[in-house]
Amino acid sequence: MGRSHTEGHMIQRIGWLRAAVLGANDGIISTASLIVGVAAAATAPGDVLVAGVAGLVAGSMSMAAGEYVSVSSQSDTENADLARERLELATSPALETDELAQIYVERGLSPGLARQVAEELMKGDALAAHARDELGISEIVSARPVQAALTSAATFAVGAAFPIIVAVIAPADLLAPAVSAASVAFLALLGAVGARAGGAGMVKAAVRVAFWGALAMAATAAIGALVGTAV
């Protein structure tokens, strides 16, 4: 008795994984950089926390709005392509069959087999076949604006909460270095977890995310110290 095929592919996770990793990554980097920059300007700890919380709220809303607009544009394009394809199937089914068969020939099938496959698929859900093989649209990768927006906002807030918590519990004189060190560690962990979930190398991803996060915090701290001195 043969075993069932249960192979899973990471591409099925790419939609939510991308939004989740980007949201949490931006939440940590932007909020930690804001806290470190404000702290470097010799601001009172209470003001630093206010700035951090304000950054969390504003960043979450910004991420949600930006992701919704971006993915909605993709969704609009997909819907327009599907509407055009639906019209072509209704008015020129023979040409659409030829087009589908040619796609399979270009992928390596013999002309006869490609024609047979195209005709069989056209008898079923022709639009789904053309959407998948001609337009590259499938249920797995199709745009979902609301899902992307909510995921980005929630993960940004979760990411932003980490440096804020560290700022609350760290001694006032060690606030900036504590937030910086903890945030770099959080970023490295996030990079590794994201890479693991996506089936990629963990070490390279962790180093990459941590490096750019540290660079962002260093730049913000330098600007905050400069502005604090000038003011």
Is 206:189 a contact under the CB 8 Å cutoff?
yes
Is 174:36 a contact under the CB 8 Å cutoff?
no
Is 111:105 a contact under the CB 8 Å cutoff?
yes
Q: How far, in Å, are 16, 19, 62 from residue 151 at the CA level?
A: 7, 6, 13
Q: How far, in Å, are 33, 126, 196, 221 from residue 215 at the CA level?
A: 10, 51, 24, 10
Q: How far, in Å, are 24, 73, 87, 105, 155 from residue 12 at the CA level?
A: 20, 21, 29, 27, 19
3-state secondary structure (DSSP) of residue 218: helix
- Cα–Cα distance between 24 and 53 in angstroms, integer? 15
Q: pLDDT 10s digit of each residue in the chain, 231 long?
A: 444 444 444 444 455 566 677 788 889 988 998 888 888 876 677 888 888 999 999 999 988 888 888 888 877 887 787 788 788 778 888 888 888 788 888 888 888 888 888 887 788 777 777 777 777 666 545 557 788 788 888 989 999 999 999 999 988 888 888 998 999 998 888 888 777 766 677 888 888 888 888 888 888 878 877 776 555
pTM, entire model: 0.67
